[in-house]
Each structure stands twice: as structure tokens, then as C-alpha cells.
Amino acid sequence: MSRHLVLRLASPLIAFGGEAIDNRGVIRDFPALSMLTGLIANALGWDRSEGVRHDALQRRLRMGAALEPGSRRLQDFQTAQLGAGDMGWTTSGQPEGRDGGANTYAGPHLRYRDYHADLRAWVVLQLRPAEEAPTLDDVALALDRPVRPLFIGRKPCLPSDRLVAGWLEADHLLGALQAVVARHGARAGDGWRAQWPDGEEGSVALGQRSDVCDERNWRSGLHGGWRSVREAVLNPAGGAA
């Protein structure tokens, strides 16, 4: 049996960001490995320039996610006339300036941003090796008492409740997800979509396999790196579709 940290990601709007296409910010169905890495690093107070630490944390992180039914998607159209002297808010507490050329301020900025509305996602985490710092206990403490404000994917997506939802002992990540669905599924309805790493003990042949590109090279600042995952619909009574 292994110890798993359980997180509950809930907010009126959530953005599990995918690859941006021109001026449209698309979203994924499930939280990315890079997003969870950034969330934890932000809680610990790490600077984004600390690429080596971020990369090491991402390599150690093992995660599975299950989505409560009932959410929907929406698209936000954003327009803003920005000038050279305008400043932006950042989670570090330091205003962010603008340094574009004169022509970059001639017209308004137009953006389309996709969001999950009223989504509740449950995430189970392991760190391997478990004894290295930061440990899961360090992560849980940081998420409860973060050094900086936390957000779920994008800065407007502030958590509506405590992120840490407890601990679970389970044989593997899928077992932990099944325990979460069994415990909370009765009030949320049947049919929780779930995703976990392919090749995990106890779940090799279950669900549909696919490859996702959700890692980040934190030293270069670019996304890249594929990993294999499995996805299935988990039911509160047990089993998967």
C-alpha cells in the first residue's frame, strides 16, 4: 500500500490549459503534469527561473485525476486597450510592465479564453522517491499555507475551497481514484471520467490508452515531452466502463 495525497480542485472557472492557438487559449479535459508542478512550486515559493528544481519535481510527480460530472465549457471573449505605461498584476506581488514597440499599442488586444465552469476535479498524488525533499507532507503544508496566491491554470481561477482533501492508502493511483469516486460519487452521480499514467500496477489493461504532451521543460520555458496515460469512466459502485 502506498500513501497518496488527495487534492480537490474546485472553482467557478478552471483552465487546464493546452497549446495556445493564435489568440485562443484552449483547455484540456484533465490537469496537466506541468500545471500540477507549477501549482506546487508556486505554493512552495519557488521562482520560475529555478528550472532545475521544477524539472526535478515534475520527474518525481505521479498523478491521477477524476472529474465529477456536471461541469460545462464556456468561452470568454476578452478585449483591452493597453498602453505602454499600463501595468499588470502578478502573483509575485511585483507589477509587470510592457515593453512592446509603438505599433503594438495601436489596436485593442483580442483574446478568446476557454474555461471549465463549475468543475470539481479530484487529483491523487505520489512523489517518487518519496523520501526526497520536498516530500508529500511538505507539499500538503505548502498548499494549505502557500507562499504566494494560488490559481488553477490561470490567474483568475482562484480556488473556492481548501485544495488539500486528505490522504489515502492504496495499492496504486487507480486504486486511489476508485476510492475517491466510491466515497464521493453518490452525491455527484455516476460516470466519473478518470485519467492515470499507463503502466501503473493494477491498471495495465484497463481503459483506453493515449499519449499526452503535458510536460514542460522548465529550463527552456517550452512545453514538450510525451507520456502515456489511460482513461476510463469510473463508477461509485466500483468498476470502470
How does pLDDT run across 92-139, given as a tens digit for each residue?
Answer: 667 766 666 667 667 777 888 999 999 999 999 999 999 999 999 999
How does pLDDT run across 148-198, given as a tens digit for each residue?
Answer: 999 999 988 999 999 999 999 999 999 999 999 999 886 555 789 999 999
What stretches of the chain show up as alpha helix (H) in DSSP? 33-44, 51-60, 136-144, 173-188
Burial of 238 (0-12, 13-18, 19+ CB in 10 A): exposed
Q: Are 202 and 176 in contact (CB under 8 A)?
A: no
Confidence of residue 205 (pLDDT cuts 50, 70, 90): low
DSSP element (H, E) containing 214: none
How does pLDDT run across 58-75, given as a tens digit for each residue?
Answer: 999 999 999 999 889 999
Q: Provide the mean pLDDT of the chain.
A: 88
Closest CA to 8 of 67, 93, 59: 67
CATH number, domain 2-71+110-234: 3.30.70.2660
What CA–CA distance (Å, rounded) separates 16 from 127? 21
Distances (CA, A) of 14 to 112, 120, 158, 182: 15, 9, 8, 24
**Residue showing cell 470539481:** 120
- Domain limits, the chain: 2-71+110-234
